[in-house]
A and B are shown apart, each in its own frame.
Chain A
């Protein structure tokens, strides 16, 4: 007899929206139905079913080929590499839960290594800007109930956070926004006519890479300064003035920004200018901002690293105390300058998205990958340690993009004897301590 199990209010461990209303149906430890999730969230749940894409046993490279080994063999070898390393680098950590992230800090501290998370290639610049100029923000629930003006700048939630608009920012009815979509004005600032832009009430189509100029023009116009120029970033002054009026006259505005700001020319300075604009708009009305965080728990990685070291990412422990400097201790820069001897990649796939020279350097030295699925990174690794998938096969806490912590559930068992990420790291810590005689 087949055993069917139903789960309700399951949290989706995929994007920073962290939807918590999913329904999952299981047949003998196999997920057969996912309800309420968007297409990418659904795909993540199905990906946990055992298939040729999933590792179920630890692997080690032997004569150029990955071969199955026992957990002890794999963990001992990994611990040995880390304990003997003079400059180990650990990167990833955003697609796992907070306990694993906490253990990451401990491991890298005892190894005297460099610890970085994926924020360094996505919203790290937002954090730099926030450290420079602060950040007026609130929770997604607050936006849902109050915001009558929603500004998406350099972000395309229709594809990157598919349920964001229906749960929080556009179609949903809120306490003061009883007519949902009809009660909100949506403005999109994007060089491309994205699907989000097509749904907006106003689309500001600026030249690529000129966001900073547009922000500062808006800020000056908000202050009542007449500008010498007729257009900024390809947008006519008349349209910018119209936008300024809308921004100033809303009741409660929110700016959601994405990688279109943080990863284009100017990076953290684009966000710096964006935050400054929001700060100034608060002299006229109520306005907040929230970064559209990608990985479901990248926000958590920043929070956990910050409460344990003082810094959100790009942390160096070589001198026994934490130091912070993106651009110096960020994974891409460490790899590009060959300033490392071993890498430990957890819950991330830098081989598919890092610059080519960084990847080439990474592959030349020992690489340990903690990863449930076959990825370009894990397939090139020397040691693969397959974990249970957090939020599906083990519990854990994750932080939503607005920094609200949400407890994720376990709905199925992990294949074979796969352990949770934090258990794997805990074992590594024990073994490294033993090798270092601590």
Chain B
């Protein structure tokens, strides 16, 4: 068991680039080595110990590493970037890009997360108990492949363009999945096989340009895309990853703007 606790002791003036905080980077390092990991504050190259009090050690077994981070981390970016195992618990609000491109392990944010949480995730789990900003699980600029696997759960709302360009594959058993409380516009834009479950309302342009994939909205959609067509009504939805959702839903196919015979599906609570 390697438990290591970081507590923010000094509020950064500028955003802090903290991709060094991840189980992969802490693995096998002494507390002193960890304290000396590089962190960028504006154009200054500083170390973790300049901003954090550090307790505990990480140990050698990646999957047993648990990093706990306390404080107002809303200016601290990129925590858990590219992590492949272990766990991070963040007690407080966190800055942009938390858990981006992670492919294993678990991050829990007990607070709100800024934009790009879980962007281009390849696996693992990211849970946010508060709200998340824009571009949750999204593709970075210019990428045609966003989230390819893993699960993101956001209790509160997700902002604009969340889970865009997701790319799942049933034969390869890759089921990128986003579960959120409510969503801003363009939820699941350009979807290519991602699974999205919105527990509440979604603003507009849901699943726009979707080529394939499943989007389930249990609340209402502010404005439906005109290029979706009603197929019928269902009382149970079976998702490609095996999950079943029961309840009365209207099933739509779309987005027909991107293909006349689209395999994309959108379910909206009746």
Contacts and interface: CB of A to CB of B under 8 A. Distances in A.
Interface of A: 85-87, 111-113, 128, 131-132, 212-213, 215-217, 219-220, 223-225, 227-229, 232, 265-266, 269, 272-273, 276, 317-319, 324-328, 337, 339-341
A340 B75 CA distance: 13
Interface stretch (B29-37, B64-72, B237-245, B256-264): B256-264
Contact of A276 (B116, B256, B258): B258
A325 B78 CA distance: 14
Given A269-B189, A276-B257, A229 B226 contact: yes
B42 interface: yes
7 contacts: A212-B208, A219-B258, A220-B227, A227-B226, A266-B205, A269-B208, A328-B96
Nearest to B230: A228
Interface of B: 13-15, 17, 40-44, 75, 96, 115-116, 134-135, 140-142, 144, 161, 185-186, 189, 205, 208-209, 223, 225-230, 255-260
Contacts of A269: 161, 186, 189, 205, 208
A87 B42 contact: yes
Given A128-B141, A131-B141, A269-B161, A216 B42 contact: no
Contact of A225 (B14, B96, B256): B256
A86 B205 contact: no
A216 B209 contact: yes
Given A87-B42, A87-B43, A216-B209, A339 B256 contact: no
A273 B257 contact: yes
Given A86-B14, A128-B141, A232-B226, A224 B260 contact: yes
B189 to A, nearest CB: 7
B226 to A, nearest CB: 4
Interface centre among A85, A112, A212 (most CB of B within 10 A): A212
A86 B42 contact: yes
Contacts of A131: 141-142
A239 B44 CA distance: 59
B227 A217 contact: yes
Contacts of B258: 219, 276
Contact of A324 (B15, B115, B141): B141
Contacts of A224: 260
Contact of B257 (A217, A266, A317, A318): A217
Contacts of A128: 141-142
B150 to A, nearest CB: 22
Nearest to B228: A228
